[in-house]
Structure 1
Amino acid sequence: MMDIYPGVIDSDPTKLQERHYYLLSELQTLVKDLPSSFQQRLSYNTLSDLALALIDGTVYEIVQGLLDIQHLTEKNLYNQRQKLHCEHQALKQELLRKHKDALQTCKSHNLALLKSNQQGELEALEVRVREEQKMMDKKIVAEMDQKVIDQQNTLEKAGVPGFYITTNPQELTMQMNLLELILKLQQKESQSGLQ
C-alpha cells in the first residue's frame, strides 16, 4: 500500500482510530449535502466502512486514476464523433458542389430529371449520415457503459463499500454520490495539507 499518510500504515492502533474517526466525521458532514433520499440509505456502518477504505489514501489514487481514464475516453469519443461529423459535412459539400456543376452544364430539357436525381442522391446521403451517426452514438454509449462496469469492478475489488457491477439507476446514482463524497473529502484533505 502507498504510504501517502505517513505514520498511518503499520502504526499504532490509536493513530488508525483517530484517522478513521476524522474521516467518518468528515463523511457525516459531507453527506448532509446529498439529497435526503440518499442520506437515509447511507447508514453509519456504510460511512464507517467507507472511512476505513479511505484510511491509507489508496482509494483516492484509484478514483483519480479512474477519472483520468474516463476523461480521456470521453475526449477520444468526442473527437471521433466530431471527425465523423466533419467527414459528413465534407461529403455533403462535395455533393452540393457536384450538383451545382451539373446544373450549370445541364440542357434545359433534362433539368427536371437532373434535379430529381440530385434530390435522390441528397436524401440517400442524409440517410447514410443519420445511420452512421446513430451507429457512432451507440458505440459511444456502449463504450461509456463498459467504463462504468470497469469502474464498479475496480472499486469493488479495492473494497470500497457500495460498489459492485449494476445497471440499476438508483444504485448507479448511489455510487455516483459515494464517488462525490470521496472526491470532496480528497479535495478537502489536499487543501488542508493532509494529503
Structure 2
Amino acid sequence: MNGERSNSSDTQERLYKMLEKLQNLARDIPPKFQQRLPYDLLSSLAHCLLDNTTFEIMQELAELQHMTEKILHKQHAQMVNKHKTEKDSLVKCHREAFTAAECQGKPHVVSRLPRVHQEQLTELNARQTEETTNTHLFIQNVLDEKVAEQQTTFQQAGVPGFHVTSNPMEIKISHLHYCLPSTFVYLRILPEFSGSQHTTMQFCHSQTMVGWFYFHGAMSSRIPARVSDKH
C-alpha cells in the first residue's frame, strides 16, 4: 500500500514539474499564439509526456524528418548546380562563337550573334525557371505529406492538439504543440542546458515539423501566387 502511494506521489510530482516546465516554455511563444495554448491543453500535454512512448515517437519522427530534409536539400542543390553549369556552358559557347566569327572576318555573323545568343539565353532561363518551380512544388508536396503523416501519428498516439489539416494557421499551432514537448525532450536529455537562454522558439527553429514553414516561406517567393496560395 505504501509503495502504491509512493508511486502515485512520484507520478504526481513528475506531472507538476512537467506542467511547470511547459508553462515556462509557453511564455516564450508570441502572445498572439499563447491564447491557443490554454492551461487545459498544457495539462493534457504534461499527462501525455508521462508516457515515454511519446518521447520515442518524437525522436523517431525527428530522425525521419532530418532524413527527408537532407534528401530534399541534396536534390535542390543538384538542380541549382546543374543550372549553373548549363548557363556557364552556354555563355562559354557564345563567347567562343563570337570570337571565331571575328577571327574569320564575318561581320554579318558578328552582328547577328548577339540576338541569337540572347534568344538562346532567354530560352534557357525559361526552361530553368519552369524546372525550379516544379522542383519547389515537389518539395512542398513531399513536406505536406510528411506533415500530414506526423499529424496522423501524433493524433493516433493521443497527443493533444493534433489533427490532420492543411490550414497554415492550424499547422502553426500544432507546430507549437510539437515544439513544447520537443523542447522538453531536449532539456530532459541535456539538463545542463535547462537554465540557458535556449528558448522554445529558438529550439523550434531547428526542430520544425519537417521544415514545412521553412520551405513554404522560402519557396513561396519563387512560386506563382496561384500555387503558393493554395494552402
1:60 to 43, 55, 64: 55
Provide the TM-score with structure 2 as the length reference: 0.72
Structure 1 residue aligned with 2:44 = 49
CA distance in structure 2 between the aligned counterparts of 1:101 and 1:37, rounded to whole angstroms? 60
CA-based RMSD: 2.0
The unaligned stretches of length 5 or more in structure 2 are 1-5, 193-231
Q: How does 1:66-105 map to 2 (within 5 A)?
A: 66-105=61-100
CA distance in structure 2 between the aligned counterparts of 1:192 and 1:168, rounded to whole angstroms? 35
Q: Give deviations 1:133-171, integer Å, cap 9, x for gaps.
A: 111111111111111111111111111000111122322
The unaligned stretches of length 5 or more in structure 1 are 1-10
Structure 2 residue aligned with 1:153 = 152
Q: How does 1:170-181 map to 2 (within 5 A)?
A: 170-181=169-180
Rate the CA distance shift 1:41–1:99 in 2: closer, same or farther, 3 A: closer
CA distance in structure 2 between the aligned counterparts of 1:98 and 1:21, rounded to whole angstroms? 70
Rate the CA distance shift 1:96–1:170 in 2: closer, same or farther, 3 A: closer
Name whichever of 165-174 and 129-138 sits farther off.
165-174
SS in 2 for 1:34: coil
- Residue 31 of structure 1 deviates from its aligned partner by 2.1
Q: Give deviations 1:44-97, integer Å, cap 9, x for gaps.
A: 322222112111221112112212222222222121111111111111121122
CA distance in structure 1 between the aligned counterparts of 2:140 and 2:67, rounded to whole angstroms? 15
Name whichever of 123-132 and 59-68 sits farther off.
59-68
SS in 2 for 1:61: helix
CA distance in structure 1 between the aligned counterparts of 2:168 and 2:108, rounded to whole angstroms? 62
Identity of aligned residues (%): 37
